[in-house]
Amino acid sequence: MFLTFEGIEGCGKSTQIERLAAFLEWRGVKVALTREPGGSPIGKSLRSILLSESYAVAAETELLLYAAERAEHVAKVIRPALARGEWVLCDRYGDATRAYQHWGRGLSRESIETAHAIATGGLEPDATIWLKLGAEEAVSRARLRNGKVKSGEGRFEAEALDFHRRVEAGYVHLAAEFPERIIAVDGSGDADSVFTRIVAVLEARHAIG
Ligand code: TMP
């Protein structure tokens, strides 16, 4: 099972993916919990470049760096874990590139799909949990948390609200485009309620018993 989590900054996906990993492990499932960017050694270095406020990265550079980090991640981490029979839980994957680099930055969808296909060799998730939350609420949560700015990872958080609205609209489009794969989950409310919703949708899909 290859499961990805998606959503805009502050939607709560990192908290929820960790909870799901712990829940699955408790049920005896072997889990590889990973993320993009940053799930491989090269990915960690690329993450610090991609999220640093010190660089004003051109949109095309950004796309290719995300693709490079994904290629490494798929080859060295995701495919080997799937081959070992583990569940791969990945915090962001291709939909983030579609939402951020196409809807957010305005690069063509074609260039995104080409870069993504080179990076993945066609590996797509079995299911994607999209934590749906309005841009105003999500961004204010993210800015309140402010940890990224402190850790030098605030480049996307510093974007205007309008950018985050476009990214959220991108996820709305993607959910309509891939209705079989993308499961929208209401990201509002406390973490316990959101987690209960996630478990319920996975049970409804018979992904977990
Ligand atoms: P996160 O680790 O908090 O999810 O932050 C990663 C940031 O990188 C987030 O702002 C979204 C951005 N991103 C892209 O723009 N394109 C991508 O393909 C990926 C994986 C992430």
* Mean pLDDT rounded to a whole number for the chain: 93
More reliable by pLDDT, 180 or 209: 180
How far apart are the C-alpha atoms of 140 and 122, rounded to whole Å? 36
d(CA 62, CA 157): 16
In whole angstroms, what is the distance from residue 69 CA to residue 35 CA? Answer: 11
Share of the chain above pLDDT 90, in %: 81
Q: What is the pLDDT of residue 206?
A: 79
Q: Which residue, judged by its Cα, is nearest atom 16 of ligand 1? A: 97
As a whole number of angstroms, the distance between CA 164 and CA 157 comes to 9
Distance 150 CA to ligand 1 centre (A): 17
Instruction: Give CATH for domain 2-204.
Output: 3.40.50.300
pLDDT score at 68: 97
Check: CB of residue 87 under 8 Å from CB of residue 20: no
Q: Which strands sit side by side in the sheet containing 31-35, from one edge to the other?
A: 31-35, 87-91, 2-6, 127-132, 182-186
Ligand 1 centroid – CA 25 distance (Å): 26
- Using the atom order of ligand 1, give the atom closest to the CA of residue 153: 5
| Ligand 1 atom with least separation from CA of 50 | 8
Q: Is the CB of 73 under 6 A from ligand 1?
A: no
Phi-psi category of residue 86: left, alpha or beta, with phi > 0 → left and psi -120 to 50 → alpha: beta
Percent of the chain with pLDDT over 70: 97
The pLDDT tens digits for 6-59 are: 999 888 999 999 999 999 999 999 999 999 999 999 999 999 999 998 888 999
Q: How far apart are CA 47 and CA 49, in angstroms?
A: 5
* Region 76-100 average pLDDT: 98
pLDDT, tens only, 129-177: 999 998 888 888 887 776 666 667 788 888 888 999 999 999 999 999 9
The tokens describing 152, both together, are 């030098």
Q: Are 56 and 42 in contact (CB under 8 A)?
A: no
